[in-house]
Structure 1
Amino acid sequence: MTTLTQFRPAPVIDETTRLLIEHYIFPEISEQLAGLLQRRLAEGAYDVDGAEDLARLVTADLQSVNGDRHLRLKYHADPVPAEQGAATLAAMRRDFDTSLGGAPRVELLSGGVAVVELAPALFPLEWAAEPLSAALTLASRSRALIVDLRANLGGDPDTVAFVCSYLLDERTHLNTMYWRDGKRHEQSWSLPHVPGTCFGGSKPLYVLSSGRTFSGAEELTYDLQQLGRAVVVGERTGGGAHPREGWTVHPHLETTIPVGRAINPVSGTNWEGTGVQPDIPCAAADSLDRAHALALTRLAG
């Protein structure tokens, strides 16, 4: 393990600026940020004792120009693998194993209204397909469904499409991802077939949101809202629409950089910076009761 006396911020800053210039989805912003980090380094702003302090300072500077919350220098208490993305994947696997595969709660409320909580992330589909299918199939017989994303911090776009496939009646264009080179784009569609039983596209559907709802969880919320499929109840979400990748730049530090931008086919834009605005604003703590009441009223009507 690197000791405090061995810690040197300059190599971390140099590698982070190189990665920014090479990979950030907004090249003009990457030049500004690279200059800012190098200037702050020269001024001695990063003369700190350890990696955790450096991560906090650099993250604040990375997010100071355009507020992109996916831009981070992320501290890991345990040493992280050198392979690209390995640090994030290892942390996600630990969360997956302790959250019933990302579906920690399935409950039937009064009136035939089901709640499926998806948290703390929408894990890679090769891991999550089985537990998500089980949870959504179990809830498919309910009269109305509440999908709770209040504690979901993001995840895999393929998993977003997988979940949407249980909540729609036909194959639907959900999102388009545009990449740094400006020449490539990738469309995301719901699937024509899924394992288990679908809830479908006609019964009442509500999505719970909070200020913590972020990234891929925001995409799920936004896609369903823009399609007119779900009523969003709760708080404005965090506002992170750019898919990102991670690079290990120190045994305890990972630089995360957005490499693409999402464009919704209905709105022609995304939720970056603004977050997803709820249809029914209320405190996150009250949103489940509010959505349940809305569902009962609609079913009674």
Structure 2
Amino acid sequence: MTSDTSSPALDAVSVVASIADLVRENYVFPDAARQLADLLRLRSAEGSYRTESAQELAETVTADLRSVNGDLHLALTHHAVPVPPERGAAVLAAMRRDFDASLGGVPRVELLDHGVAVLEIAPKMFPLDWAARPLAAALSLVAPARALVLDLRRNTGGDPDTVAFVCGYLLDGRTHLNTVVSRQGEVAAQSWTPPFVPGARFGADKPLYVLTSANTFSAGEELAYDLQQLGRAEIVGEATRGGAHPRDGWTVHPHLELSVPVARAVNPVSGTNWEGTGVRPDVPCDAGAALDRALSLAAARLT
């Protein structure tokens, strides 16, 4: 077995015990939570987690966490750089590095033939207090376009508030997007488009196409799903990964963060969500061909 020389010694038994407790206490589905906690304790007693490598432990535990119901938000994530111990701090630290390296999450804004604009949001829907300025600038820039292609093929999740912010530029008026239901079955929160957005809106009437891939995940999926269910956009590309449950994170070791879904999403139109199934495209095609396909659809509609 290899070891992480830059980190404190790994006590895998203690780490897994803490993970079992956190899953049992917080996972949105109580029955599955108990089943998963029991599985982790059994596997630990059998010696399945005997390792000095945090990365190896992360891979093994993640496979076990997903073995019951396939929830892709259940994960033990290894971070090569030590992360703060505060709840949720590990994922934020990693996201900040991505934010700084991706022009604030808007790596591409381009005007193509027929007045069709392409806007890519990737690699994340970053926290709104970081992302509002670059997103407002990009969305205002494409507002005069005759049609818009929103590229989410490389978007792997993030902040639901940012989803609502983006939708505010693509819809008219306050619109209910999503309801978050707690582990206890109570409404914990609702997501609505904001009453005001800075800059110009693209609006609710011009053609809108959303590109997806098999890598599109979580909040990236929500943006596609919300617009699809409202009849606002055509989804072009591949079915997405299928992770709908809002998550929280706990640092259980300086290099390990536990991700656990703590609620479930309910779309006001469909009454359900995209968990397990992914967002199904209206126009299925390979992700690599999705942009050309969307541009063809836009050209046919505009000419």
Q: Same fold (TM over 0.5)?
A: yes
1:148-297 residue pairs with structure 2 within 5 A? 148-297=151-300
**Alignment partner of 2:288: what SS?**
helix
Equivalent residue letter for 1:226: Q
CA displacement 1:248-278 (0-9 Å, x = unmatched): 0011111110001000000000000000000
1:91 and 1:2 map into 2 onto residues whose CA distance is 19
- Structure 2: runs of 5+ lacking an equivalent: none
CA distance in 1, matches of 2:268, 2:13: 43
Count residues in correspondence.
Answer: 300
Q: Measure the CA separation in 2 of the matches of 1:109 and 1:126.
A: 30
| 1:103-140 CA distance string (max 9 Å, x none) | 11000011100000000000000110000000000000
In the alignment, the residues of structure 1 paired with residue 257 and residue 180 of structure 2 have an alpha-carbon distance, to the nearest angstrom, of 24
Q: Percent identity?
A: 63
User: Is contact 1:165–1:190 with CA below 8 Å preserved after alignment?
Assistant: yes
Cα distance in 2 between the residues matched to 1:184 and 1:79 = 35
Whether 1:38 aligns to 2:62 is no
- SS of 1:175's equivalent in the other structure is strand
Q: Which amino acid is 2:242 matched to?
A: G
- Per-residue deviation at 1:184? 3.6
Partner of 1:147: 150
Q: Distance in 1 between matches of 2:227 and 2:242?
A: 16
TM-score normalised over the length of structure 2 = 0.97
CA contact (8 A) 2:182 2:264 kept: yes
Deviations 1:153-195 (A, max 9, x none): 0110100000000001121111101112323421111112100
Q: 1:5: Cα distance to partner?
A: 9.3
CA contact (8 A) 2:182 2:263 kept: yes
Other-structure match for 1:58: 61
Aligned partners of 1:2 and 1:251 also within 8 Å: no
| Distance in 2, Cα, partners of 1:132 & 1:261 | 26
CA distance in 2, matches of 1:199, 1:277: 24
Task: Report what 2:27 is aligned to.
Answer: 24
Give the secondary structure class of the aligned counterpart of 1:221: helix
AA in 1 matched with 2:19: T
- 2:9·2:52 contact (CA, 8 Å) conserved in 1? no
Give the 3 Å change call, closer, same or farther, for CA 41–227 of structure 1 in structure 2: same
Structure 1 position 235, deviation (Å): 0.2
Could you tell me whether the CA contact under 8 Å between 2:4 and 2:53 is conserved in 1? Answer: no
- Say whether residues 1:95 and 2:98 are aligned partners: yes
The one-letter amino acid of 1:94's match is R
Cα offset, 1:70, TM superposition: 0.3
Pick one of 115, 118, 126 that aligns with 1:115.
118
State which drifts further: 97-106 or 1-10.
1-10
In the TM superposition, residue 37 of structure 1 has moved relative to its aligned partner by: 0.5
Cα distance in 2 for partners of 1:205, 1:21 equals 42
What is the distance in 1 between the residues matched to 2:188 and 2:53?
Answer: 40
Q: Which whole-Å CA distance do the structure 2 matches of 1:210 and 1:197 have between them?
A: 28
State the distance in 2 between where 1:280 and 1:7 align: 48
Tell me the C-alpha RMSD between the 2 structures.
1.3
Contact 1:154 1:214 in 2 (8 A): yes
CA contact (8 A) 2:179 2:187 kept: no
Summarize the alignment of residues 55-94 of structure 1 with structure 2, pairs less than 5 Å apart: 55-94=58-97
Offset at 1:2? 6.2
